Amino acid sequence: MLIGVVGLNGAGKDTVAHYLVKKYAFSHKDFGQAIRAELMVLGKNPLDRNEMVLLANERRQKFGFNYWAKRLLDGYTLDKNLVLTSIRNPAEVDEIKAKGGVLIEVFADINVRFARTVERVKKDSNAHGDIGSFEEFKSKEERELKSTDPSKQQLLKCISSAKYRVNNNGSVGQLEEELEGVLNKIKGRT
């Protein structure tokens, strides 16, 4: 089974992926981690969100809008369970769907997401998320929501492609319960 997890920063995409890995032995590949790894090879700051966006867009322009998805899906076969997180471009969504994947949106209120992001960075100085003020967080997010440039981030289009949605404004247990309901629906479709 192939699952793509979409959502805004701090919504809980990785929390969903970790649950699938732990409970159902999924493999997990993160678009953001692939970009950060490439930044490290280039000697750039892998924790700087602006650097990540620039590199991701540059690679899409140079190698195709589905570049990152093709990289992460290389070698994937239908008999494997794989969850992909941090999908940012509609061409990446299309590549996942072409491989038989389904998309799940993780939703959380912006105040909840900001607090989670701040907490993540406070706990681990190597954690991704170069947050500052709430206004900066909101401003960066707004730049990533939509674009007419097909190589850039278009989170709203990606989110609108999700067939399922889980709410993550509550506890991890509540998220897991909602996710189980979605997984039952997905399994029922085959």
83 belongs to a structural domain: yes
189 belongs to a structural domain: no
> Is 33 within 8 Å of 46 (Cβ atoms)?
no
CA dist., res. 83 & res. 43, Å (int): 28
> Is 2 within 8 Å of 85 (Cβ atoms)?
no
pLDDT grade for 167, boundaries at 50, 70 and 90:
very high
Residue 7 is part of a domain; what is its CATH number?
Answer: 3.40.50.300
Which tens digits make up the pLDDT trace of 86-138? Answer: 999 999 999 999 999 999 999 999 999 999 988 888 887 666 665 678 998 89
- Among the residue ranges 115-124, 142-151, 175-184, the one predicted with the least confidence is 115-124
Q: Between vectors from CA 54 to CA 152 and to CA 28, what angle results, nearest 5°? A: 75
29 belongs to a structural domain: yes
Q: Between vectors from CA 159 to CA 153 and to CA 162, what angle results, nearest 5°? A: 135
Model pLDDT, residue 122: 80
Q: Is the pLDDT of residue 61 over 60?
A: yes
CA dist., res. 143 & res. 153, Å (int): 8
Model pLDDT, residue 126: 63
In eight-state DSSP terms, residue 126 is T
- Interval 34-39 mean pLDDT: 96
User: In the chain, pLDDT over 70 holds for what percent of residues?
Assistant: 95
- Interval 138-155 mean pLDDT: 92
Residues 6+ positions from 35 with CB-CB distance below 8 Å = 52, 55, 56, 68
CA dist., res. 100 & res. 54, Å (int): 29
- Interval 1-20 mean pLDDT: 96
187 belongs to a structural domain: no
Q: Is the pLDDT of residue 190 over 50?
A: no
Which tens digits make up the pLDDT trace of 66-93? Answer: 999 999 999 999 889 999 999 999 999 9
63 belongs to a structural domain: yes
The mean pLDDT of the chain is: 92
Domain that holds residue 167: 2-182
Residue 154, helix vs strand vs coil: coil
Quickly count: other Cβ atoms within 10 Å of residue 1's Cβ. 18
188 belongs to a structural domain: no
- Interval 136-150 mean pLDDT: 91
User: Domain total for the chain?
Assistant: 1
Model pLDDT, residue 87: 96
Q: Is the pLDDT of residue 189 over 60?
A: no
Model pLDDT, residue 78: 86
